[in-house]
Amino acid sequence: MSLVVVDLDVDEAVSVVPGTKVLQPPPEVVTTPCDPWPRPYYLKDGLRRVLPYHFTYNTYCKERWRGRELLDIFVSEFRDRPAEYYRDAILRGAVVINGKPAPALTTIVKNGDLISHTSHRHEPPVTAEPIGIVHEDEDLIVVNKPAGVPVHPAGRYNYNSLVEIMRAQRGLNWNPLPCNRLDRLTSGIMLIGKHPKAAERLSNQIRSRTVTKEYIARVKGKFPEEEVECSQPILLISPKLGLNRVRANGKQAKTVFKRLAYYPPTPTLDEKGPLNDVTNDDGFLYSDSQQVDGNNTHKNEGSSIVHCLPITGRTHQIRVHLQFLGHPISNDPIYCNQRVFGPNLGYQDDSASADEDIITRLSRMGKDEVAEAIAYHDQMMSDYNKVKAEKMSGEFCDVCQTPLYSDPGVHELGIYLHAKRYACQDANWDFQTPLPEWALPPTAAR
């Protein structure tokens, strides 16, 4: 029996070609109604900004979405808009499945479904710091990624991503192919292939673990002087929030740490002599004993500069291992956040008993609360920095009624984690960046 793809409806096709099994033509793929070029960038107050624009997201059903209701997927997976927005978007046809409006909010999503969502897009600003070129040849570009800039379009970020910023600089048809991964908040070495063969070669070298990766972090407290190895497995706890924790049933992970320097807190003085508060070398005020949700926090113990050698490459691996060891990255808004993890900051905690509470508290960060790390609790942060922290502003877009966010503060544009060096002895290449300012001794940084 022959198979025929036709433009006629099924009944008409069968009457024209009796005995023929009809395959329906594939649905039209939804296309973006506006993909502006040049990209609508503008620079203001040290930030790279993007004017709002209409955009269509297209994504195939993920494995964890199979058999779930359409509205439930949007509400549970995407946190940048309230449930009421997604409910309205589905009902008015801004969300479609396989090119057709969803019949109901409770429509079940199946494997292979293409979900499209057209929205008025508002991107968060990122630093206006330029992308530094470390090395370039006919196959490869090595760049020093600024902290706070995501590598790929994801979540609320699209044009304000490394690949799109570089494409805007080099031409619409230029296609950068990143070969290694860095978290949005992390700065440092990025290897970018100029063509697929080069990208495949570099990616294979990284996967085969012939590439040495060295990171520098600034962590809370006095890290042990001797070399420390952490081999705790890591599990993704919340895909929506990107939260990872140490868990026995997680993926194998191993990181080796070595302290490079320790900077004790510096006492502040007034005319009457020493105060009870201390100012750390990052310029923020700490109290000897702070109260967070009724619990006493640890005293400020200064900070350490730590060399980090990840043997495996799990998401948030260095950040999670440092938290588990009791020395989280000192301005990490997730893993050094006492409002989320409590006064012990997840030290030696591999239990799932508090996961639901942790996820609930973390989900409030950036919405009705500032996403503040240990260095930025209410008592430790100036009124100016409180105002500058990103959170919902209470204002709404005139076009789409999306809740608007305030600008991020300087302290929210990145964390003290930097990919300093990537090297491959087998392929005879070695790329390094200078130390960031926060890793230098306080006197040298100033």
* Vertex 322: Cα angle to 319 and 327 (nearest 5): 125
* Vertex 226: Cα angle to 221 and 231 (nearest 5): 85
How many H helices and E strands in the chain?
10, 28
Amino acid identity, position 393 = S
SS3 142: strand
Is 183 annotated as catalytic?
yes
Distance CA 251, CA 442 (A): 38
Confirm if 61 and 115 have CB atoms less than 8 A apart.
Answer: yes
Kind plus residue range of the DSSP H or E element containing 12: helix 10-16
Amino acid identity, position 317 = Q
Confirm if 287 and 380 have CB atoms less than 8 A apart.
Answer: yes
In the set 88, 183, 383, 407, the catalytic residue is 183
The dihedral through the CA atoms of 149, 152, 156, 160 has a sign that is: positive
Confirm if 73 and 67 have CB atoms less than 8 A apart.
Answer: no
Distance CA 149, CA 85 (A): 27
Distance (Å) of CA 207 to CA 12, 135, 180, 212, 214: 54, 22, 9, 11, 16
For residue 226, give the nearest of 332, 307, 334 by alpha carbon.
307
Confirm if 245 and 235 have CB atoms less than 8 A apart.
Answer: yes
- φ/ψ (deg, to 5) at 386: -60, -45
Q: In what order do the strands lie in the sheet with 53-60?
A: 53-60, 114-121, 95-97, 100-101
Any idea which residues carry the catalytic annotation?
Answer: 183
